[in-house]
Amino acid sequence: MAIVERGQEALAAVAAEFSLTELQIRVLRYLYRSGPTPIGVLAEYLGNDPSTLTTFVDRLEQGKHVERQSDPDDRRVKRIALTKDGVSTVEDLRDQLAEVAPVSKLTMTQLRQLRTLLVEIA
């Protein structure tokens, strides 16, 4: 439990340093791993209604972290994508978080592999 608490404290400290909320960091990291994502998919990941994310995405957009892009297959759908500044922010966050939580540098595939290995030895 102490490891989880230390990780949460570290995330809160880094979030404050970057003037971001922990939820904003989760979104930026998700977009970094997944690429441009429809707002509905992002809402599902966060467990929110898409309509509640509009203001949230607006704030990230004002901070130059994300941009809205038209979906090439359906122009009615907007995808949320990281900007160059957003990518840079995520990489800076990752480097800082890696000092206290080394697994933060792992990709989703690597995290799944790690989970499988840990389940096998448990």
Residue 83, phi then psi, degrees to nearest 5: -90, 175
Domain map (residue ranges) of the chain? 2-121
DSSP reduced 3-state for 102: helix
Express each pLDDT in 52-103 by its tens digit: 888 889 999 999 999 999 988 888 888 999 999 999 999 988 877 776 666 6
* CATH architecture for the domain at 2-121: Orthogonal Bundle (1.10)
Q: Cβ(30)–Cβ(45) under 8 Å?
A: yes
- Helices and strands: H and E segment counts in the chain: 6, 3
Higher-confidence position of 12 and 4: 12
- Residue 70, CA distances (Å) to 4, 40, 100 in order: 38, 14, 37
Bridge partner list, 37: 80
Which two three-digit tokens encode residue 98? Answer: 């890696």
Express each pLDDT in 12-52 by its tens digit: 777 788 889 888 988 998 999 999 999 999 999 888 888 88
